[in-house]
Structure 1
């Protein structure tokens, strides 16, 4: 309280001009402190904040660009997934169709013992029909390009009456097996050569 009274007494004793000078000096001191100490600190703070703002803004733009790229990739991947699902469904239907078809064709499934019996019975039946078997050959072929991937070619050489040969061939007309008579030839000695082809598939 005494200090304040002394300050008041000091100013009251001064003339208005001196008081103005004191106020001016105080303002100069305050201005000096602000200019040399506070202003540089404020400028540094402003520059720092501006740099942070620019950097943050740049990062935001970069992140938005990355987000757009990722969104485009997600859309592309979703389309690919959708197409793959459709393709998978189509392939499953195709597989089911072939499996069903294969089940219907079980009677033509390749079995080497069954096909061996077929050749043996062919020779026996030829003899039963009064034909003389001069010889025969058979060979199995593989075909990896289709459902029917096996075939056996049988060449049967016989002699005898033509009608007996026809009776033999008639026996094989109603077989469920995929059998085809490729051709019949006759040589100068009136011997017949018949080519059979038996088709099948192997799982």
Structure 2
């Protein structure tokens, strides 16, 4: 049986190990010693002869096991709380990043036009930018409720103009710019939350 085992298995037999030098040393290293002891108790080895500070540990008598009994549960509970806190902080960080920049905070939208028929299904980010099923930026929803589509979004423009009617006849005419961009006014289109399990167009 080594000195650590005897100190913990027979706590009443070693009260004389406390000295002024031991107290001075333990005052500086009490946290390390408690951690070492907790590790020993958790491993249930009862040995740990590699711990050099156990011989000079004050309270090698009966107060020591009492402090371990109170320290072990106390250390476990704050540890669990700390882990929970870290998880909460991570979650909060993730939520804070949603909806910050272009392409962030994406959600499905459904755009109907006066042409009726089939709606246009896209995704909108936190800044109002619109993306099609291929992930291409095709335009934006403006603050006044109008929808502007860029010149490359020919299929999206056609969907709002015709409602995908079988004859392909434009029934709603957007305002176009010299560059080919098309803007449907808020009186020509309505924007709603996308359908559940919708797939984005094009």
Higher helix share: 1
Output the TM-score relative to the length of structure 2: 0.27
